[in-house]
Amino acid sequence: MAYIPNQVIALLQELTAHFPVVLGRNLAGIYIYGSLTQGSFNSKRSDVDCIVVTNRELSDSQFRRLGAWLA
């Protein structure tokens, strides 16, 4: 298994804790892809690629809450 920096682990834990709270049953999945999943992550040049899939369009409330959290 490739080394994943503690900062990245903390970010992923935050994402997987926060999105379900905001999106509830609208959350279909959180998917990580790119260098992190391929074992080629480099903390000096890589980013963390993820996509969040929902069952339906976000409500205004969900959109605002995510926007405030990501700001």
Q: What is the pLDDT along the chain (71 residues), one digit of tens a residue?
A: 568 899 999 999 999 999 999 999 999 999 999 999 998 999 899 999 999 999 999 999 999 999 998 88
What does pLDDT average to over the chain? 93
Query: Quick check: 25 and 55 in contact, CB under 8 A?
Result: yes
pTM for the whole thing? 0.83
